[in-house]
Amino acid sequence: MQVIRSIKEMQQMAKELHREGNRIGYVPTMGFLHEGHLTLINEAKKNNDKVVISIFVNPLQFGPNEDFDAYPRDIERDETLANNAGVDFIFYPEVGEMYPVDLSTKINVTKRVNVLCGKSREGHFDGVATVLMKLFNIIMPDRAYFGLKDAQQVAVVDGLINDYNIPVELVAVGTVREEDGLAKSSRNVYLTEQERSVAPELYRSLQKAVQRILDGEKNLDQVKTEVINAVHEKTSGIIDYVEIYSYPDLVELNEPNGKMIIALAVKFSKARLIDNITFSI
């Protein structure tokens, strides 16, 4: 495994890999790798000749109340995990390498962002889209892998790729879950023992909601109310949102139609958990 820190060297390596006939699978990360990242890496290994991950904590996607400096970093641990997972290259640039001067252009994401978690994180997805535009141009992947646990981010990346005709295939990988169904997250360690015991109810409530729609329920407000009631009855969490939208457009629906997402966010004492299910009708 090779660690590359300069943009020029990474671009040269990508060009050389393509000249040799390699297909590049790419997993963007902000480091502090966990099982979700390793699942994406494993998927990338299946259908590509070389796997590249980037480790870059992107300052552009942190809001005024989000502490960029406090974001966890452990490059030695990440290198060990990546190497053991079979990664071929880590692109690990400094902030000054990625943004040596103030940008003269700006990507402004206008759709798919003012709902779900994006509603309370103004400008977040502008930063995500900007750094991905740079990273796609630097790494030149054939396929890029993203987890559906953050389905809104996947939707935004889908729009970015389509809008700018970026020659990369977006591969959305299903949410990694515990045996009881709880979506795996670094935040789960902040749950109390009692909160952890009931947290799987979030996913169960979504599953029941999907089944209600598939069974013919057309009143989406009623379905959302049933999810809210189930979470209130079976957990101590405070609901941030329960929403149903078209997917990946993330447009409100009057009744079930086509590909959809049902998503929720719930605040516990020291952790805010998100989960979702995408499905088609």
157 with 22, same domain? Answer: yes
50-54, 71-75, 108-112, 128-132: least confidently modelled range: 71-75
Last residue of one domain, picked from the residues 114, 144, 173: 173
19 with 132, same domain? Answer: yes
113 with 195, same domain? Answer: no
Bridge partner residues of 106 (DSSP): none
Annotated binding site for ATP: 30-37, 147-150, 176, 184-187
13 with 122, same domain? Answer: yes
Whose tokens are 């958990």? That residue is 273
137 with 221, same domain? Answer: no
DSSP of 144-187 = EEEEGGGHHHHHHHHHHHHHTT-S-EEEEEPPPB-TTSPBP-GG
pLDDT per residue over 36-85, tens digit each? 899 999 999 999 999 999 999 999 998 887 788 888 899 999 999 999 99
44 with 89, same domain? Answer: yes
Which of these, 188, 168, 166, lies nearest to 177 by C-alpha position? 188
pLDDT per residue over 218-277, tens digit each? 999 999 999 999 999 999 999 999 999 999 999 999 999 999 999 999 999 999 999 999
253 with 118, same domain? Answer: no
Q: What is the mean pLDDT of the chain?
A: 96
Is residue 206 one of the residues assigned to a domain? yes
Any idea which residues carry the catalytic annotation? 37
Spell out the residues 6+ positions from residue 185 whose beta carbon is closer than 8 angstroms to its own: 149, 273
Is residue 280 one of the residues assigned to a domain? no
Task: Return phi, psi of residue 199, to 5°.
Answer: -55, -35
Residue 226's domain spans which residues?
186-275
Sheet strand arrangement including 169-173: 2-4, 89-91, 50-55, 24-29, 143-147, 169-173
26 with 154, same domain? Answer: yes
State the total domains in the chain: 2
Is residue 45 one of the residues assigned to a domain? yes
Annotated binding site for (R)-pantoate: 61, 153
Bridge partner residues of 173 (DSSP): 147
Per DSSP bridges, beta strands 259-267 and 238-246 are: antiparallel
Is residue 15 one of the residues assigned to a domain? yes
Domain of residue 202, CATH code: 3.30.1300.10
167 with 197, same domain? Answer: no
134 with 190, same domain? Answer: no
Is residue 244 one of the residues assigned to a domain? yes
